[in-house]
Structure 1
Amino acid sequence: EQQTSCTGKLQQTTGLIQFCIEALKETDSAAFLQVGTMLIHRVANTDVTWHQEVTNAAPRVSPIVDLTLDDTPLLRAIDNLNFIQMKPPLAPTIIPEDCSAENNSVTVAWQAPNHSFVEGYVLEMDDGNGGDFREVYCGKETICTVDGLHFNSMYNARVKAFNSTGEGEYSELIGLQTAEVAWFTFDTQLSGGPCSGLNFTNDNATVSADGWEHRVALGSVGFSRGIHYWEFTVDKYTADTDPAFGVARIDVARDKMLGKDDKGFAMYIDRQRSWFQHNSVHERRVEGGISTGSTVGVLLDLERHVLSFLVNEMPQGSVAFRDLYGVFYPAVSVNRGVTLTLHTAIDAPQMDYHH
């Protein structure tokens, strides 16, 4: 209301000023003298009135605002707060019934510690041979599967929780035994994918090729420790060709016979005889070949670091290769006219390594 009144006074004063300006423009001196005295009094009166009513007028509203706040909900919320001292979490608890081992993979499950603030977990495992522990998982999940482990090995696992304050204590250890013998198939991606020229059937256990050029197929697991044995049955052998059996590094050449480069270790065989081959060097011819229905066994002994072969369950010559260290994948190379089926999870035969 006071603001509206002041605005009206300002508009009246502005109008008076504009009227005076127009009067000063009057060219008739007699007329100007008639209104001059009146305008002087009017302006003087307006000036006095302005100072009395506007300039010196006190505000009708107090500058102090009376705010009454209802702080009851805030006080109630403060009373309900639970303050805890931040400290590292307690040890998680392993859930044995949810832990398992399958082939060369293990699954570890645990539950969060009670009365602890947890931001994440760290799962550690040893090397399956009683060695040092190393971190294999860090995250918020309470279950983890670790693949690509050694076969026939006992792995110990432990887990700890952490938050911004620090890391807690380790859980109790749990031991998980991987499979004694390896089960695997051909790996279509490791073997070159859809453009490899290979045909995989029977749940990737059977392989054949369309063309005359040799193509390498790799198994789905790599070995760096232990004794491993697998066999192939010759389902079809109609051409005068030389399939090659053995092991290879992961970066072996896929477009040539196994053993033609330094990444493959192989025995290639025809209807009458076989040769051992590595880095295009073939040697030690052994009499005895294959036909439809034959079996070819591959024995990789990484305890002695040697590779041997069997044909129809009989040793094909002496030890083929020695001083094998690192990671090796089961491998074959085939071309048109040959179909092979892989058989795994077989106990290794006893061999005489002195010959």
Structure 2
Amino acid sequence: MQFFHSAPTAPTIIPEECSAENNSVTVAWQPPAQSHVEGYVLELDDGNGGDFREVYCGIETICTVDGLHFHCMYNARVKAFNSSGEGEYSELIGLQTAEVAWFTFDPILSGPGLQYSEDSTTVTGEGWEHRVALGSVGFSRGVHYWEFTIDKFDADTDPAFGIARIDVTRDKMLGKDDKGWAMYIDRQRSWFQHAGGHEQRVEGGISAGSTVGVLLDLNHHILTFFVNEEPQGAVAFRDLYGVFYPAVSINRGVSVTLHTALDPPSDSEET
């Protein structure tokens, strides 16, 4: 029973049970042999070759870490501990997150008064009041582009498209509070809106069958919009830092479908 009185040896990572999906990684490991273990500490670097940080501490031997950056190689390592101390780290394993983001609407994060398709890619407004729907992933760096197809647009209303903080107001048009940045648009024209102020009126509207594109460039911290793959005005918002979720606000008479993991229109390279 000598091993009860010493720190554990290193766990062994199981590569075939480790994986990366979208912007999350799963790491699995085997307990160290001949060691008394009271728990494990899993650490990841920053996806850019930087310092390691603790992301899990507990008794499980598998852990999924969500909310990572896209298009990054994360290195993971794990160590065991007991009352005698911490053991050595395992060997590293590298896990690559997806280059582009695939996501859906998140009915749990979104406001009431909206109807979702079974796969959560289409949302339909049910009431007269505007309601905000959020995407299922948040972005804090990188360049991301997604589009909405206007499936139904038979009301005198202006859906709003853009980005939001996780704590955006859900029962107002997107951009009415300081947690949302949006372009709202009708059949003839559009405006950019944030914190209740709207500016930069641009001629050209939408109808059923139109597409609205949202380009979030967090390398340059800007947001731009496209209608039918053509730029809709100049850069809408600048100085965007932090975590942003794809967002849309709609009401009765509007239905939109989300398309993700897209390349930006070629015009975007000039903005």
Instruction: Report the alpha carbon displacement of residue 86 of structure 1 after superposing the two structures with TM.
Output: 1.9
Q: Distance in 2 between matches of 1:341 and 1:116?
A: 53
Task: Tell me the equivalent position of 2:88.
Answer: 169
* Residue identity matched to 1:126: D
**Higher RCO (CA 8 Å, separation ≥ 6 residues):** 2
**Cross-structure match for 1:198:** 114
2:239 to 302, 323, 329: 323
Match of 2:54 in 1: 135
Deviations 1:20-74 (A, max 9, x none): xxxxxxxxxxxxxxxxxxxxxxxxxxxxxxxxxxxxxxxxxxxxxxxxxxxxxxx
Match of 1:243 in 2: 159
**Partner of 1:97: helix, strand, or coil?**
helix
Q: In the alignment, which of 97, 102, 106 is matched to residue 178 of structure 1?
A: 97
Q: 1:85 deviation in Å?
A: 6.8
Distance 2:81 2:265 in 1: 48
- The answer to whether the aligner puts 1:281 opposite 2:197 as a matched pair is yes
2:77 equivalent to 1:158 = yes
- Indicate yes or no: 2:261 matched with 1:345: yes
- Post-superposition offset of 1:112: 1.6
The counterpart of 2:5, out of the listed 80, 86, 91, is 86
Paired AA for residue 113 in structure 1? P
> In 1, Cα distance between the equivalents of 2:227 and 2:64?
38
1 or 2, which has the higher strand percentage? 2
| Per-residue Cα deviation, 1:257-282 (whole angstroms, up to 9, x for no partner) | 11111111000011111111111111
Contact 1:319–1:353 (Cα < 8 Å) also in 2: no
Offset at 1:201? 1.2
Call closer, same or farther: CA 1:101–1:352 in 2, change over 3 Å. Answer: closer
What is the deviation of 1:351? Answer: 4.7
Letter of the 1:257 counterpart: M
Distance across 2 between alignment mates of 1:282 and 1:290? 18
Q: 2:173 aligns with which of 257, 264, 268?
A: 257
CA-based RMSD: 1.5
CA deviation after TM superposition for structure 1 residue 307, in Å: 0.3
Question: In 1, Cα distance between the equivalents of 2:73 and 2:267?
Answer: 25
Work out the CA distance in 1 between the residues paired with 2:183 and 2:32.
56
Deviations 1:158-185 (A, max 9, x none): 0001111110111111110111111111
Question: Is the contact made by 2:231 and 2:268 (CA closer than 8 Å) also made in structure 1?
Answer: no
Higher fraction of helix: 1
Conservation of the 8 A alpha-carbon contact between 1:318 and 1:353:
no
Q: Which residue of 2 aligns with 1:50?
A: none
Matched, 1:107 2:107: no
Q: Considering only CA atoms, is the larger Rg found in Structure 1 or Structure 2?
A: 1
Which of 30, 38, 44 matches 1:125? 44
Give the whole-Å Cα distance in 2 for the aligned partners of 1:240 and 1:183: 32
Aligned AA (2:192): F
Contact 2:149 2:212 in 1 (8 A): yes
Question: Could you tell me how far apart the structure 1 residues matched to 2:188 and 2:134 are?
Answer: 26
Where structure 2 has 5 or more consecutive residues not aligned to the other structure, the ranges are: none
CA gap 1:199/1:181 in 2 versus in 1, 3 angstroms: same
Q: 1:335 is matched by which residue type in structure 2?
A: N
Task: Look up the SS of the partner of 1:254 in the other structure.
Answer: coil
Tell me the secondary structure at the aligned position of residue 223 of structure 2. Answer: strand
Structure 1 residues 83, 177: closer, same or farther in 2, change over 3 A? closer
Q: Deviations over 1:275-295 (max 9, x none)?
A: 111111111111111111000
- 1:290 and 2:206 equivalent? yes
Change (3 A) 1:187 1:83: closer
Distance 2:157 2:2 in 1: 79
Matched, 1:311 2:227: yes
Give the aligned partner of residue 218 of structure 1.
Answer: 134
Distance 1:253 1:165 in 2: 50
Q: In structure 2, do the counterparts of structure 1 residues 100 and 85 end up closer, same or farther at CA, with 3 Å as the change threshold?
A: closer
Question: Alpha carbons of 1:216 and 1:115: their partners in 2 closer, same or farther (altered >3 Å)?
Answer: same
Larger CA deviation: 118-127 vs 299-308 = 118-127
**Percent identity of paired positions between Structure 1 and Structure 2:** 78
Assess if the C-alpha contact under 8 Å between 2:3 and 2:35 holds in 1.
no
**Which residue identity does 2:175 align to in structure 1?**
G
TM-score normalized with structure 1 length: 0.74
